[in-house]
Amino acid sequence: MITFLLAALAVAAVLTVIYVFGRLVYDGFQLAASRRRDKGDTDLPPLWRDVQGIGIAAQIIFLIGLIVLIRYLWGNFTARVDSVGQDLSFDFLDQPSGITIADNPLNPNNPVSDAIVAGFGNTIRVILLGIPLALILGTLVGIARLSTNWLLRKLATGYVEFLRNIPVLVVIVFVWSGFLNGLPRSQEALKPLGGWFILSNNRFAFPSIKGDGNVGTYQLILLAALVVAAAVWWWRTRVFDSTGQPHRRVLWSVGTFLLIAVVAYFALDGPVATSKPMLDDRGRVFSDGIRMVMPFAALVTALVLYTGTHISEIVRGSIQAVHQGQVEAGNALALSAFQRYRFVVLPQAMRIAFPPLINQFLNFTKNSSLAIAIGYPEGTSVINNLFGQSQPSSQLILILMLFYLTFSLIISAIGNLINRRLQIVGR
């Protein structure tokens, strides 16, 4: 699969260069022909003195020079590889990795490809959990910085100015070594709330849900409840549009879902139950519940705290960009501060804020590679460990670059689609 993606990327790059080169040549001839056809040859300077023609020719020459430079660098690279006898194939992906990954059943005998996939899976978990948390934190802090409460405003300002001006790597190491790594060992783990939560410098565990034989039926019922709740949401919206009465979509939809879920729970005689995390007699092995390694918690916490400072400034500036007349209109309608932000200010501010927010999401994605500093086995850390097992560095670096490129492009595409939906369509 990875080999196929690399080949597809190479073919796409070559086709892109061919297309750009051909398009420049075609546009040059079309421009020259159209201008001379419209005005006549006697009214125009020769092609070699035409400003637009010279510009297109310069772009073609630059593109040719770039291709020559890339070909020269590639020739040097292949010559160096041949001199040291390195194989550029991807056959090593099927060889034993020789490494282990924390909280993963893989062993050193599993292939390299499985280890890489597991590492990238850990990276994706960090991104999927961290980006929503950073967005929520940044939005709340951005609003707090504009609060009329002096203490709240100063606390938010101090948080932003302190963390925003510290390198993110320092923040990650500080959260890990200064806080989470200082927790007691597993044998002396903290067990707050009667042992429902377990905290140690190794793992953090909290309750989960486990099911019995009827859990599959219960899941299907919950899925149907979501569909019914969506239908109720649509119905309440139609009522509001036609009559002007308060829709209360959230109350109606959530209430409908909870009602179906509770009735089905008792009808199926409790298909799910709470699973409490446990430690063995020696206090080392965790079982049941949901378990999280502390480096993961440290990485997500540090990235959320750091990225939240930048998001808060974007949100604050976007709120200030909303016309003051909109706020005054909300006050004239006797809206509370929460209602004013919920219905008037934030919907307009987010239209302004979302394009720069996409950049922060991309920064979060790339900053996750700094987990290598605290030993969390995400993609970059796993590939670095594979280097130590004498695996080929060139191919591994290329795979790592391809992963971050692909995921960044996916985030950009999703962000652009959302941004297009947020924009007001003019007439």
pLDDT per residue over 143-158, tens digit each?
999 988 899 999 999 9
Q: How confident is the model at residue 242 (pLDDT cuts 50, 70, 90)?
A: confident
Name the least confident of 30-34, 74-78, 354-358, 380-384: 30-34
Residues in Cβ contact with 253 at an 8 Å cutoff, skipping those fewer than 6 apart:
229, 230, 232, 233, 236
Measured on CA atoms in the order 165, 170, 175, 179, is the torsion positive or negative? Answer: negative
d(CA 175, CA 302): 6
Between 55 and 180, the higher pLDDT residue:
180
Residue 17 has pLDDT above 70, yes or no: no
Mean of pLDDT values over 260-285: 77
| Band (34; pLDDT cuts 50, 70, 90) | low
- Each residue of 107-140: pLDDT tens digit? 888 888 888 888 899 999 999 999 999 999 999 9
Could you give the percent of the chain with pLDDT greater than 70? 83
Strand partners, 290: 206
Residue 141 vs residues 146, 162, 226, 311, 347: alpha-carbon distances, Å: 9, 13, 32, 9, 17
Half-sphere exposure of 418 (CA within 13 A, CB side): 15
Least confident interval from 25-39, 216-230, 239-253, 383-397:
25-39
Q: Which of 34-48, 55-69, 379-393 has the lowest mean pLDDT?
A: 34-48
Residue with tokens 């909303």: 322
pLDDT interval class at 161 (50, 70, 90): very high
Of 29-33, 115-119, 291-295, which has the strongest mean pLDDT? 115-119
State the pairing for strand pair 286-287/278-279: antiparallel
Residue among 376, 201, 408, 411 nearest 299 (CA): 376
CB atoms within 10 A of CB 139: 23
Q: CB-based burial of residue 367 (10 Å sphere; 0-12 exposed, 13-18 middle, 19+ buried)?
A: buried
If one counts every other C-beta atom within 10 angstroms of the C-beta of residue 377, the result is 26
Confidence of residue 283 (pLDDT cuts 50, 70, 90): low
Average pLDDT, the chain: 81
Assigned token pair, 311: 């998001």
78-87, 175-184, 236-245, 250-259: range with highest mean pLDDT: 250-259
Question: CA–CA separation, 253 vs 259, rounded Å?
Answer: 10
Q: What are phi and psi of 246, to 5 degrees?
A: -55, 130
Q: What CA–CA distance (Å, rounded) separates 123 from 411?
A: 14
Q: What's residue 9's pLDDT?
A: 56
User: What confidence score (pLDDT) does residue 112 get?
Assistant: 86
pLDDT at 225: 92
Phi, psi for residue 152 in degrees, rounded to 5:
-60, -45
Using CA atoms, how far apart are residues 277 and 296, in angstroms rounded to an integer? Answer: 18
And the tokens for 149? 């409460």
Residue 38 has pLDDT above 80, yes or no: no
* CB proximity list for 424: less than 8 A, separation 6 or greater: 351
pTM for the full model? 0.78
Q: What per-residue confidence (pLDDT) applies to 324?
A: 84
Mapped to the 3 state alphabet, what secondary structure does the chain carry? CHHHHHHHHHHHHHHHHHHHHHHHHHHHHHHHHHHHHHHCHHHCCCHHHCHHHHHHHHHHHHHHHHHHHHHHHHHHHHHHHHHHCCCCCCHHHHCECCCCCCCCCCCCCCEHHHHHHHHHHHHHHHHHHHHHHHHHHHHHHHHHCCCCCHHHHHHHHHHHHHHHCCCHHHHHHHHHHHCHHHCCCHHHCECHHHHCCEECCCEEEECEEEECCCHHHHHHHHHHHHHHHHHHHHHHHHHHHHHCCCCCHHHHHHHHHHHHHHHHHHHCCCCEEEECCEECCCCCCEECCEEEEHHHHHHHHHHHHHHHHHHHHHHHHHHHHCCHHHHHHHHHCCCCHHHHHHHHHHHHHHHHHHHHHHHHHHHHHHHHHHHHHCCCCCHHHHHHHHHCCCCCHHHHHHHHHHHHHHHHHHHHHHHHHHHHHHCCCCC
Comparing C-alpha atoms, which of 161, 159, 160, 156 is closest to residue 144? Answer: 156
Query: Angle at CA 138, nearest 5°, toward 137 and 140?
Result: 65
